[in-house]
Amino acid sequence: AQSVAQPEDQVNVAEGNPLTVKCTYSVSGNPYLFWYVQYPNRGLQFLLKYITGDNLVKGSYGFEAEFNKSQTSFHLKKPSALVSDSALYFCAVRDPTVGSSNTGKLIFGQGTTLQVKP
């Protein structure tokens, strides 16, 4: 079965330090991977995606993610954390196609709460 795992419920970093939020996946075929962020009482905001190409993907608000096929990982990173980055982060993978058809479904990890302290 296709799945996404975010092994850490919470990540704590000091403002100005680099941050990493981990994600591993299990999917048949080529993975299409995404990161989203959710602020309290808000919907999900798209940060970045990996479809194909360079393993280092750059996204919104200074975030980037590194795709590692051998380790089946797609970790989210930022060189210098801000207090305003504190939020809930979700990794997601597109459910593989059935035949030649797209299923439309994203499979989400359980989410990681990022706490950035001043």
Partner 1 sequence: EAGVTQSPTHLIKTRGQQATLRCSPISGHTSVYWYQQALGLGLQFLLWYDEGEERNRGNFPPRFSGRQFPNYSSELNVNALELEDSALYLCASSFGGTGTLRRTYEQYFGPGTRLTVT
Distance CA 21, CA 54 (A): 19
Give the nearest distance from C-beta 62 to partner 1 in angstroms: 18
107 binds partner 1 per the rule CB under 8 A:
yes
The smaller minimum CB distance to partner 1, of residues 13 and 107, is found at: 107
Using the rule CB under 8 A, give the single segment among 7-15, 19-27, 39-47, 73-81 that binds partner 1. 39-47
Give the pairing type, strands 56-58 and 64-68: antiparallel
**Applying CB under 8 A, which of residues 77, 82, 106, 113 lies at the interface with partner 1?**
106
**Applying CB under 8 A, which of residues 58, 69, 105, 117 lies at the interface with partner 1?**
105
61 binds partner 1 per the rule CB under 8 A:
no
69 binds partner 1 per the rule CB under 8 A:
no
Distance CA 92, CA 35 (A): 6
**Residues at the contact surface with partner 1, assessed by CB under 8 A:** 32, 34, 36, 41-46, 49, 51, 90, 92, 94-95, 97, 100-111
